[in-house]
Amino acid sequence: MRQILIGARLFDGQRLHGTQAVVVDGGRVVATLPEADAPPGKRLRLEGGVLAPGLIDLQVNGGGGRMVDGSATADVLAEICAAHARLGATGILPTLITDTPEATAAVIRAGIEAARRNVPGFLGLHLEGPHLDPRRKGAHDPRLIRPMDQTDLERLCDAARQLPALMVTLAPVAASAEQIKALRAAGAIVSLGHAEATSDEARQAIAAGANCATHLFNAMSQLGNREPGMVGTILTESIPAGLIADSIHVHPAAMRIAMAASPQSLFLVSDAMCVAGSDLTEFTLGGRRILRRQGRLTLEDGTLAGADLTLPDAIHCLITEVGVAPEIALAMATSRPARIIAAQARAGSIGPGRLADLVHLTDDWRLGQVWQGGQTLL
């Protein structure tokens, strides 16, 4: 049935427009036009706010009570995708943090099957580790962190060729320039993270093909006056970098500095765990207890272990606490991540022929409604 959404400003993925009508039919956007020119059909009036493309999250460790781990199947990935769609992220990269080779292989198989089934919201996989730097392990299990070997490389390259998108987070100390080049040649997005790297080491990895960075500021060498570290290198090289905008992982003042230094390159991630979209107050990760308290997820020793965050909340934080222009904050959760994983044709924008994955954000930048394939989820 044709439905016409009216009453909200339109963000098309690039620009924030005035009030527009968005015509949806057959699960796709048919047209965007002035309200006065809208054709006949069922009308839904949105009370102000902004109608935007469905949000895209490139770092999602779990949701709806389920984690991405070695027991994950295509059905589990579908549950996680569905949980995040209800939270506004209608396209995600389910993310496996450092685990065994067997777990990595199992998740890759599940991801390939999810892609074959065209699971709604599944855009590919993100493998965050195990090829990291134990000096910047964060909540990753140090017993499982290890350098990349030839078997790992072959597995990852094969996955990159079969998945819609594959992001691999690694540290320069754990992967050679030749391995990074091979991953890029296979189509993987190579993201630098969890690394105590010097500026020279980070630049060498970027020269080899690393083209992204994982959760800027967190679990990486910091900017210093004599050694720029990974943070300084990422900002000066202006490679795309994920940002956990919850004012816990990164202070608002640090976010302002990053936005000033690299205004076109940053994008938002939730780094969500299984508690997202659930009432869970704790869970286990690799046999370790994770506590959910006052907007934080931590190990029992206080180490941050993912985030208790949704992308609409991150947009709200950027606009209201950091002072980022709405047009930029919205792009950081839509068109920018879509471009990074080369998914512009299927996600991240609103226009005729596009899948009707949409979110309505209220005037105070809170999640109002969600549509996936034209179906109302919230």
List active site positions: 271
Strands 288-293 and 282-285: antiparallel
How many other CB atoms are found less than 10 A from the CB of residue 242?
Answer: 28
User: Would you tell me the crossing angle of helices 150-162 and 101-116 to the nearest 10 degrees?
Assistant: 10
* Rounded Cα gap, residues 277 and 309, in angstroms: 10
70 three-class SS = coil
> Helices 150-162 & 177-186, crossing angle to 10 degrees?
20
Residue 59 region by backbone torsions, left for phi larger than 0, else alpha for psi between -120 and 50, else beta: beta
Relative to beta strand 125-128, strand 89-97 is parallel
The values of phi and psi at residue 109, to 5°, are -60, -45
Q: How far is CA 166 from the centre of its chain?
A: 12
Query: Closest by alpha carbon to 5, among 316, 350, 364, 328?
Result: 350
Q: Whats the size of the chain, residue-wise?
A: 378
How many angstroms separate the Cα of 177 from the Cα of each of 152, 170, 191, 375?
Answer: 15, 12, 13, 45
Do 180 and 208 meet the contact criterion of CB atoms below 8 Å apart?
A: yes
Q: Are 73 and 107 in contact (CB under 8 A)?
A: no
User: What is the spatial distance between Cα 7 and Cα 195, in angstroms, rounded to a whole number?
Assistant: 47
